[in-house]
Structure 1
Amino acid sequence: MQQLLHPLCLTLAVTGFLVLLWPPRYLRRDRALTALVGVYGLSALSFLVSIDPVWGLLGDATGNPSIGILAAFGTVTAQVTLQIVVLADWVLPHEKARSRTRLCLAAGAAVIAALVVLFLLLPASGRISPQAFTARYIHVGVYQTFLTLYIGAYTIGQGILAVVCWRRAGGTRGTWIARGLRIVGAGALLTFGYSTIRLVDVAAAVFGFTPLSRSAERFAWLCADGGSTLVLMGFLIPTLAIHIVPRARAWGRAYRDHQRLAPLWHAVYEALPTIALHTHRAASAHGPSLWGATWHLYRRAVEIRDGQWALRHHLDESVRRAAEARYAATGLRGAELAAAVTADQLRGALTAYHRNESPKTPTEYADAGIRDDVRTPNDDVRALLRIAAHFEAVSEHEDAATSWT
């Protein structure tokens, strides 16, 4: 059962770790997120070292065939400690959360140190599989203390997790946070089955009773791994809903808007290639990289504005008046009219630039009068998207007219 469930739990833990780890800049600003990354990383390690091949490799590398049990218990203890740190940062005021964090970390470190000492007192043995380790050592007094300390710390940590999650789930306003906390609480409660069976095994060994059956052992691992899975899923759900999904949507919008600006950018870039950063040309010519789509979008907007500024000496009043009359007749008003006229002006300015012609009557861009309303980079992107839409529409109309003739 253990060797079947652990790889599944390991996959979930690694997935959560990788999802939360990127981009790293968020970790510097969010202590709870940093601790949560640690939860998933330590969880992955605890499952990894308990898989039979890794258990054997670890024993061969260290010269101690039993070292895997210390690695597993130590990483799980650290994981449970960080789970409480995450909750403290989520539900307590800042100063109180800091004091609780220090207390939890100190308690976790003390338990791990005691586990190390007790492990070193265990009698040496040959190669033992993870499944057979407890059965082999359950009648050894040092291991009974070792296991009881671990199970006690584990149960206390999971108990705190269950109580806090269920209490806070009903009082939070965030739907996804409430759902995630309830799942975490359910998972923590499920792990009590594992703890109960392990403590019963210890008590049976101490008082000379027959240990529990293999069915109970399988049930113990089902509770442990099933509970851990629910806890990991519960922590990940609100994080995905609040942090990851909005970032993915923002990336999608940035990529979409970057592509929508492409026809306008290409037209300006072909005339004025110096508008692009040297290291940025490849991304500008094709599409934004997987990371940094928002930066590439803002960079593209800046480059278009730079090109627009460079072409201002080729603006002719006749082009502006003709465009204003034509678009006003179609019902365009305000910012949309200014965007349509500016698109025509840019096309005329590019033609004049290529022909090296100077305007008979210089003028300014139609959107110059509404730029006071552009206060943020997002505002500027939206304004340029309107211009780009009209610029592309005129291009398609001219291409259709050319192919018809």
Structure 2
Amino acid sequence: MSEPHTALGAAAAVSELPFDAVYLAIGAAAWTVAGLKLRAWRRDPSSGLLVVALAIAAPASSFLVAAPVVYRLVDRVAHVGNLATLLVYLGITGFSAAAVVLALIWTPPEERTADRVWDASRAGIRRRVRTRLAVFGVLAPLMAVLFAVGGAGSPETPLTFDTTFARVPAIAGFLALYQGAFAFALIDIGRVCHGHAGRLPAGWLRRGIRLLAYGSVTACGYVLCKIAAIGAAAAGIGGLEWLSTAAGPAFAAAGALLITAGFAGPAAAAWARRRRDYRALRPLWDLVYRADRRLALEAPATPWTERIALRDLEWRTTRRGLEIRDGQLTLRPWVDPAAVASGTRVAERAGLGDAERAALVVAVALRSAVDALASGRPPRPREEQAALPGLDADPAEERAHLVRVSLGLDGPLTAEALAAAGGPGPA
């Protein structure tokens, strides 16, 4: 008898391997995103960021626990069969609670002011949030009670719990509450995301919100498959277990990946943009640093250090921009008005737009100022100093302006303007 049991155990273990691999991978990836969101929340505390982090962390934990290898470990440690199922479903219910709160506090694009994406300050919104959370506050312990009353401790079923115990009334109630709350949350957040995405400009934010909507719709396939399989099992109809063990998990995994990508995509794009701006500003920073080394808080980073810079990019880029601005003010008395006029003429002749024209003029002006300072020319009195464009740019545009200036420092149009003004060519 021992050999058949050993063979059956090995077969079961092999059949669970794909679930282990997929669930652990999804859980780890989602927890990475959740960790980044929590880190962002610690730096900029807001109710919206916290809810997003919880909306990712709760299902991420569920996927980790749902992996059969972890599932069995939890049961062994707790000495309670199938306890992991309760933990998994409570984690998904936590996602459901976070999702319905997100749907309430997510400000429609046409109503946003400045950077306000989340709004939980209005009395009506706060009241609805409290009501929804109160419902889930009752739902979670009720699910735990039904699970305990159902006595579904044996056999241990990491993949087939739903269909195995579907005919137990208390467990059927437990499953109905779980699936109902999950379906409501998916439809609610999917509806909100679909509406918001249609009113946002093209870009990563719109892509991310659409991925959230697609992920919610995809995950609804999990609910439908589970309901069909559970209903069939409760009615004594066989042959549909695959809906619960194969089709449902496939929809859940696909939906989780899309939702995680939806939350991570805009953040990753913003990180990449900050890193690109940080590195793009280096030539301009080097220019002003050579003019006045007192501007920098610390010595210049080596090229290798900049190449591998991954953390604190917003702070580093902001500081670099401030130091560049200080350098511009320091260099202003040495700016040659002839260089400014030459840069303006070259920009007009090249047909540049307003933003590109302003960047070219500033690039030419700063190059001329550094050369004048290096050659020992005296500074111009205030009334003779040339006014440079972009100094009064609002914060949202200032960084983009400085990046354009930095990218144009060694460009052909800058060299042409400097040569026409009687200055040197390329540096």
TM-score normalized with structure 2 length: 0.68
Give the distance between the partners of 1:167 and 1:275, measured in 2 at CA.
47
Determine which of 248, 261, 267 is the counterpart of 1:224: 248
Give the distance between the partners of 2:331 and 2:344, measured in 1 at CA.
27
- Deviation at 1:182? 4.6
Partner of 1:303: 323
Q: Which amino acid aligns with 2:317?
A: L
Q: Which amino acid aligns with 2:282?
A: Q
Show the 5 A alignment for 1:14-163: 14-19=28-33, 21-22=35-36, 24-25=39-40, 31-90=47-106, 95-121=123-149, 123=151, 128-131=156-159, 133=161, 141=168, 144-159=169-184, 161-162=186-187
**Residues 85 and 227 from structure 1, CA distance in 2 versus in 1: closer, same or farther, beyond 3 angstroms?**
farther
Contact 2:75 2:84 (8 Å CA) reproduced: yes
Q: Which amino acid aligns with 1:343?
A: R
Question: 3-state DSSP class of the match of 1:128?
Answer: coil
- Deviation at 1:71? 1.3
Q: Which amino acid aligns with 1:292?
A: D
Question: 3-state DSSP class of the match of 2:306?
Answer: coil
Structure with the higher helix share, 1 or 2: 1
Contact 2:190 2:213 (8 Å CA) reproduced: yes
Provide Cα deviations, 1:44-68, integer angstroms capped at 9, x if missing partner: 2222222222123222332334321
Q: Which amino acid aligns with 2:398?
A: D
**Residues 104 and 10 from structure 1, CA distance in 2 versus in 1: closer, same or farther, beyond 3 angstroms?**
farther
Partner of 2:223: 191
Contact 2:24 2:63 (8 Å CA) reproduced: yes
Provide Cα deviations, 1:118-176, integer angstroms capped at 9, x if missing partner: 4444559678341365676566x5xx303422333313531463377359747843464
- Deviation at 1:194? 0.8
**Unmatched runs of 5 consecutive residues or more in structure 2:** 1-14, 109-118, 201-205, 349-356
Give the distance between the partners of 1:401 and 1:190, measured in 2 at CA.
62
| Pairing 1:287–2:306 present | yes
Q: Which 10-residue stretch deviates more, 50-59 or 147-156?
A: 147-156
Show the 5 A alignment for 1:355-374: 359=377, 362-363=379-380, 368-370=386-388, 373-374=391-392
Q: Which 10-residue stretch deviates more, 23-32 or 37-46?
A: 23-32
Partner of 2:3: none
- Deviation at 1:181? 2.3
Contact 2:289 2:327 (8 Å CA) reproduced: no
Question: 3-state DSSP class of the match of 1:277?
Answer: coil
Give the distance between the partners of 2:399 and 2:101, measured in 1 at CA.
42
Partner of 1:375: 393
- Deviation at 1:193? 1.6
Give the distance between the partners of 1:158 and 1:388, measured in 2 at CA.
50
Give the distance between the partners of 2:96 and 2:255, measured in 1 at CA.
10
Give the distance between the partners of 1:385 and 1:148, measured in 2 at CA.
62
Partner of 1:173: 199
**Residues 368 and 17 from structure 1, CA distance in 2 versus in 1: closer, same or farther, beyond 3 angstroms?**
farther
Determine which of 251, 267, 275 is the counterpart of 2:274: 251
| Pairing 1:348–2:352 present | no
Q: Which 10-residue stretch deviates more, 21-30 or 63-72?
A: 21-30
Question: 3-state DSSP class of the match of 1:382?
Answer: helix
Q: Which amino acid aligns with 1:12?
A: I
Give the distance between the partners of 1:127 and 1:181, measured in 2 at CA.
37
Determine which of 219, 230, 238 is the counterpart of 1:212: 238
Show the 5 A alignment for 1:308-319: 315=334
**Residues 227 and 99 from structure 1, CA distance in 2 versus in 1: closer, same or farther, beyond 3 angstroms?**
farther
Contact 1:374 1:380 (8 Å CA) reproduced: no
**Residues 91 and 193 from structure 1, CA distance in 2 versus in 1: closer, same or farther, beyond 3 angstroms?**
farther
Contact 1:81 1:105 (8 Å CA) reproduced: yes
**Residues 256 and 146 from structure 1, CA distance in 2 versus in 1: closer, same or farther, beyond 3 angstroms?**
same
**Unmatched runs of 5 consecutive residues or more in structure 1:** 353-358
TM-score normalized with structure 1 length: 0.71
Question: 3-state DSSP class of the match of 2:199?
Answer: coil
- Superposition CA RMSD, Å: 4.5
Question: Considering only CA atoms, is the larger Rg found in Structure 1 or Structure 2?
Answer: 1
Q: Which amino acid aligns with 1:39?
A: A
